[in-house]
Amino acid sequence: MSKSNIIGTNQTTPGAMTAPSNLLTDATATTGLLIKQGAGAPVTQVPIRVIDSDAATLWEITNAGHCVSYNMKMGANYGVFTSGVYLNGRNSIPCLQLPDGTSNNGIRIYMGSGVPSGTTVNTSVIGDMYYRIDTPSTANQRIYMCTVAGTPGTWLGIA
Protein backbone atom coordinates (compact mmCIF):
# COMPACT_ATOMS: atom_id res chain seq x y z
CA MET A 1 0.00 0.00 0.00
CA SER A 2 1.57 3.19 -1.09
CA LYS A 3 -0.35 5.53 1.15
CA SER A 4 -0.85 5.69 4.84
CA ASN A 5 -4.04 7.09 6.28
CA ILE A 6 -2.82 8.97 9.28
CA ILE A 7 -6.15 10.29 10.48
CA GLY A 8 -7.09 8.51 13.62
CA THR A 9 -3.80 6.81 14.20
CA ASN A 10 -2.39 9.86 15.89
CA GLN A 11 -5.51 11.09 17.58
CA THR A 12 -6.34 10.14 21.07
CA THR A 13 -10.10 10.47 20.81
CA PRO A 14 -11.17 10.08 17.20
CA GLY A 15 -14.82 9.92 18.08
CA ALA A 16 -17.56 9.13 15.59
CA MET A 17 -17.32 10.99 12.31
CA THR A 18 -19.70 10.64 9.39
CA ALA A 19 -17.50 11.76 6.50
CA PRO A 20 -14.02 12.68 7.65
CA SER A 21 -11.53 14.02 5.17
CA ASN A 22 -8.47 11.85 4.91
CA LEU A 23 -5.02 13.20 5.52
CA LEU A 24 -2.63 11.01 3.59
CA THR A 25 1.05 11.03 3.12
CA ASP A 26 2.14 9.47 -0.09
CA ALA A 27 4.99 7.07 -0.61
CA THR A 28 5.06 7.74 -4.32
CA ALA A 29 6.81 10.51 -6.15
CA THR A 30 3.66 12.40 -7.03
CA THR A 31 2.16 13.78 -3.86
CA GLY A 32 3.65 14.65 -0.51
CA LEU A 33 0.51 15.34 1.48
CA LEU A 34 -2.96 14.58 0.21
CA ILE A 35 -6.13 15.90 1.72
CA LYS A 36 -8.97 13.81 0.33
CA GLN A 37 -12.58 14.42 1.04
CA GLY A 38 -14.31 11.56 2.81
CA ALA A 39 -16.69 9.28 0.96
CA GLY A 40 -20.28 10.37 1.37
CA ALA A 41 -19.42 13.94 2.23
CA PRO A 42 -22.19 16.36 1.29
CA VAL A 43 -21.53 18.59 -1.68
CA THR A 44 -21.66 21.62 0.56
CA GLN A 45 -18.69 20.40 2.57
CA VAL A 46 -15.35 21.95 1.72
CA PRO A 47 -12.44 19.47 1.71
CA ILE A 48 -10.15 21.95 3.47
CA ARG A 49 -10.68 25.24 5.28
CA VAL A 50 -8.37 27.49 7.25
CA ILE A 51 -9.90 29.65 9.98
CA ASP A 52 -8.43 32.13 12.38
CA SER A 53 -8.78 32.22 16.14
CA ASP A 54 -11.93 34.27 15.78
CA ALA A 55 -13.46 31.50 13.68
CA ALA A 56 -13.34 33.62 10.54
CA THR A 57 -12.66 31.68 7.35
CA LEU A 58 -9.32 32.70 5.86
CA TRP A 59 -9.08 30.30 2.94
CA GLU A 60 -10.74 27.20 1.59
CA ILE A 61 -10.94 24.84 -1.36
CA THR A 62 -14.57 24.27 -2.24
CA ASN A 63 -15.98 20.99 -3.40
CA ALA A 64 -16.46 22.59 -6.81
CA GLY A 65 -12.72 23.20 -7.01
CA HIS A 66 -12.63 26.93 -6.38
CA CYS A 67 -9.76 28.25 -4.31
CA VAL A 68 -11.33 31.01 -2.24
CA SER A 69 -10.16 33.72 0.12
CA TYR A 70 -10.55 37.43 0.67
CA ASN A 71 -7.16 38.16 -0.84
CA MET A 72 -5.15 35.98 -3.16
CA LYS A 73 -1.54 37.05 -3.26
CA MET A 74 1.10 35.91 -5.69
CA GLY A 75 4.07 36.93 -3.65
CA ALA A 76 3.45 38.58 -0.32
CA ASN A 77 4.14 41.75 1.59
CA TYR A 78 6.58 40.09 3.92
CA GLY A 79 9.79 38.11 3.75
CA VAL A 80 11.65 38.37 0.49
CA PHE A 81 8.47 39.06 -1.47
CA THR A 82 8.02 42.74 -1.02
CA SER A 83 5.63 43.42 -3.83
CA GLY A 84 3.17 40.83 -4.99
CA VAL A 85 0.43 40.83 -7.59
CA TYR A 86 -2.83 39.89 -6.00
CA LEU A 87 -6.55 39.61 -6.23
CA ASN A 88 -7.69 42.22 -3.79
CA GLY A 89 -11.04 41.54 -2.16
CA ARG A 90 -10.47 43.55 0.96
CA ASN A 91 -12.94 46.24 0.10
CA SER A 92 -16.40 46.24 -1.38
CA ILE A 93 -15.18 46.11 -4.98
CA PRO A 94 -12.69 43.30 -5.66
CA CYS A 95 -9.97 44.09 -8.15
CA LEU A 96 -6.66 43.02 -9.61
CA GLN A 97 -3.79 44.82 -7.93
CA LEU A 98 -0.37 44.94 -9.52
CA PRO A 99 2.96 45.32 -7.73
CA ASP A 100 4.88 48.55 -7.80
CA GLY A 101 8.21 46.95 -7.00
CA THR A 102 8.41 47.93 -3.36
CA SER A 103 5.05 47.49 -1.69
CA ASN A 104 1.45 46.47 -2.15
CA ASN A 105 0.49 49.90 -3.36
CA GLY A 106 0.60 49.21 -7.07
CA ILE A 107 -2.22 50.22 -9.37
CA ARG A 108 -5.57 48.50 -9.13
CA ILE A 109 -7.51 47.39 -12.15
CA TYR A 110 -11.28 47.43 -12.00
CA MET A 111 -13.91 46.30 -14.48
CA GLY A 112 -17.54 47.27 -14.67
CA SER A 113 -20.37 49.03 -16.47
CA GLY A 114 -20.87 52.76 -16.66
CA VAL A 115 -18.39 55.43 -15.71
CA PRO A 116 -16.25 54.74 -12.64
CA SER A 117 -18.40 55.27 -9.58
CA GLY A 118 -18.72 54.36 -5.96
CA THR A 119 -20.26 51.05 -6.98
CA THR A 120 -17.54 50.06 -9.44
CA VAL A 121 -14.32 51.34 -7.85
CA ASN A 122 -13.06 51.72 -4.32
CA THR A 123 -11.30 54.76 -3.00
CA SER A 124 -8.83 55.27 -5.80
CA VAL A 125 -5.34 56.53 -6.24
CA ILE A 126 -3.70 58.07 -9.26
CA GLY A 127 -2.86 55.44 -11.83
CA ASP A 128 -5.69 53.03 -11.04
CA MET A 129 -7.39 51.78 -14.19
CA TYR A 130 -10.95 50.90 -15.03
CA TYR A 131 -12.09 48.73 -17.94
CA ARG A 132 -15.62 49.56 -18.98
CA ILE A 133 -17.71 46.84 -20.57
CA ASP A 134 -20.90 48.52 -21.86
CA THR A 135 -19.59 50.92 -24.53
CA PRO A 136 -16.89 49.02 -26.40
CA SER A 137 -17.33 51.04 -29.60
CA THR A 138 -17.10 54.49 -28.05
CA ALA A 139 -13.69 56.10 -27.94
CA ASN A 140 -12.49 57.13 -24.50
CA GLN A 141 -15.27 55.19 -22.85
CA ARG A 142 -13.45 51.86 -22.77
CA ILE A 143 -10.43 52.37 -20.55
CA TYR A 144 -10.21 55.00 -17.82
CA MET A 145 -7.35 56.09 -15.61
CA CYS A 146 -7.65 57.74 -12.24
CA THR A 147 -6.05 61.19 -12.39
CA VAL A 148 -7.13 62.52 -9.00
CA ALA A 149 -7.36 60.30 -5.95
CA GLY A 150 -10.66 60.10 -4.13
CA THR A 151 -13.90 58.24 -3.70
CA PRO A 152 -14.31 57.48 -6.50
CA GLY A 153 -11.82 60.19 -7.54
CA THR A 154 -11.48 61.73 -10.99
CA TRP A 155 -11.23 59.38 -13.91
CA LEU A 156 -10.15 60.17 -17.47
CA GLY A 157 -11.20 58.10 -20.48
CA ILE A 158 -7.98 57.23 -22.32
CA ALA A 159 -9.09 54.72 -24.94
CB of 118 to other proteins, least distance (A): 13
Nearer to other proteins, 72 or 149 (CB): 72
> Which of 111/125 has CB closer to other proteins?
111
Question: What are residue 73's DSSP bridge partners?
Answer: 86
Closer Cβ to other proteins, 101 or 139, answer by number: 139
- Identify the burial level of 10 via C-beta atoms within 10 angstroms of its C-beta, where 0-12 means exposed, 13-18 middle and 19 or more buried: exposed
Question: How many Cα atoms occupy the beta-carbon half-sphere of 9 within 13 Å?
Answer: 7
C-alpha 158 chain-centroid distance: 29
User: Smallest gap, in angstroms, from Cβ of residue 18 to other proteins?
Assistant: 6
Least separation in angstroms between residue 41's CB and other proteins is 6
CB of 150 to other proteins, least distance (A): 20
Cβ atoms of 113 and 102 within 8 Å: the answer is no
Nearer CB in complex with other proteins: 74/126? 74
How many whole angstroms separate alpha carbon 157 and alpha carbon 159? 6
What's CA 152's distance to the chain center, in Å?
23
